Amino acid sequence: MSVTPRQLLAVAETLQLTPSLSALRARFPALHFTACSDDEIAPQHRPAFATDEHALYLVAGGGGQCPAITDDFAAATGVVVAARADAA
């Protein structure tokens, strides 16, 4: 399953209401979610969507492949939720 721009917006909206991976996994069971700090993401990557609190990166991989950040919605199978340090 790929991630759509509409789904990514819904992920961001869900994070605004309930900022937890468990809430995301309950609402979007087909997607994979990973959490980290935005400063842990290599600087060459740009978020697919960002709010004041989180940067959201698309991830492709699975099925025996190592996950990797991508900008391709069609290839994406999940989202990295990166907490922004300046949001504290």
Condensed to tens digits (0 to 9), the pLDDT of residues 43-55 reads 999 999 999 999 9
- φ/ψ of 20, rounded to 5, equals -145, 150
Annotate 36-73 with b (16+ C-beta within 10 A) or e (fewer).
Answer: eebeebeeebebbeeeebbbbbbbbbeeeeeeebbeee
- Domain containing 74 equals 5-87
pLDDT (tens digit, 9 = 90+) per residue, 53-72? 999 999 998 667 788 999 99
- pLDDT of amino acid 87: 61
Number of H helices, E strands in the chain: 2, 5
d(CA 74, CA 54): 22
Domains identified in the chain, total number:
1
